């Protein structure tokens, strides 16, 4: 049992390391060697857990999806009002400001990169957007937005991605904060 647990922890360490490197350097720019070196493991041990870079990406996407789902479930459990949950979503921009300014959005960056070279894998990365979209739509439905809930959810997702992209491109934290605050006001008006 202890050996199996250690193996799972070792695999998880590789996935977390790959996740960080894919975000900071890109999937296509990150090699097996880069991951093995950053994880401080011999490359041969690496192949025991992952036979291809695509397998690592699958594991990274699953890791990210699990994190997103857990975060949203926590918000549902701890934030009673849907309007406040929507604002919490917008606060991701503020809480992750430094990383966004330097690397962009982890979901958006990966999705765009894969859409150019790895169309099959890009559909897996799109799942992260789908999880957020479904959750956002549920929040707008809970606010009583009815048919507009879908459009509001897509709008909020699109604007937050656009803010991430432009804040990163221009390295403009004031823009990011201003747009996040504007989104909060929009949520109040919905």
CATH number at residue 11: 1.10.357.10
List, for residues 3-33, the tens digit of each pLDDT value: 667 778 989 999 999 999 999 999 999 998 9
Instruction: Report how far apart, in Å, the C-alpha atoms of 24 and of each of 18, 105, 114, 122 are.
Output: 10, 10, 15, 18
3-state secondary structure of 40: coil
Instruction: Give the C-alpha separation, 10 to 4, whole Å.
Output: 10
List, for residues 164-174, the tens digit of each pLDDT value: 999 999 999 99
Instruction: Say whether pLDDT at 92 is over 90.
Output: yes
Q: Which residues does 165 contact at the CB level (< 8 Å), separation at least 6?
A: 104, 105, 108
In which domain, by residue range, is 125 found?
2-189
Burial of 96 (0-12, 13-18, 19+ CB in 10 A): middle
List, for residues 77-86, the tens digit of each pLDDT value: 999 999 999 9
Domain tally, the chain: 1
For the chain, give the mean pLDDT.
94
pLDDT at 3: 61
Mean per-residue pLDDT, 184-190: 98
Q: Which residues does 163 contact at the CB level (< 8 Å), separation at least 6?
A: 93, 175, 176, 179, 180, 183
Burial of 63 (0-12, 13-18, 19+ CB in 10 A): middle
Tokens 């909060």 belong to: 184
């Amino acid at each position: 049992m202890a050996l199996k647990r250690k193996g799972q922890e070792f695999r998880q360490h590789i996935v977390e390391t790959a996740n960080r490197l894919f975000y900071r350097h890109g999937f296509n720019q990150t090699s097996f060697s880069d991951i093995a070196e950053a994880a401080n493991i011999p490359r041969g041990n690496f192949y025991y857990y992952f036979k291809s870079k695509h397998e690592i990406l699958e594991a990274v996407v699953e890791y990210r999806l699990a994190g997103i789902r857990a975060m949203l479930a926590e918000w549902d459990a701890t934030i009673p009002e849907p309007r406040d949950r929507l604002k919490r979503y917008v606060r991701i921009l503020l809480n992750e400001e430094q990383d966004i300014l330097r690397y962009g959005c982890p979901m958006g960056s990966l999705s765009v990169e894969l859409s150019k070279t790895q169309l099959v894998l890009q559909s897996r990365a799109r799942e992260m957007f789908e999880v957020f979209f479904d959750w956002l739509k549920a929040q707008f439905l809970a606010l009583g937005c009815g048919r507009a809930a879908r459009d509001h959810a897509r709008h909020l997702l699109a604007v937050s991605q656009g803010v991430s992209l432009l804040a990163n491109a221009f390295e403009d934290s004031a823009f990011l904060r201003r747009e996040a605050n504007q989104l909060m006001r929009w949520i109040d008006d919905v």
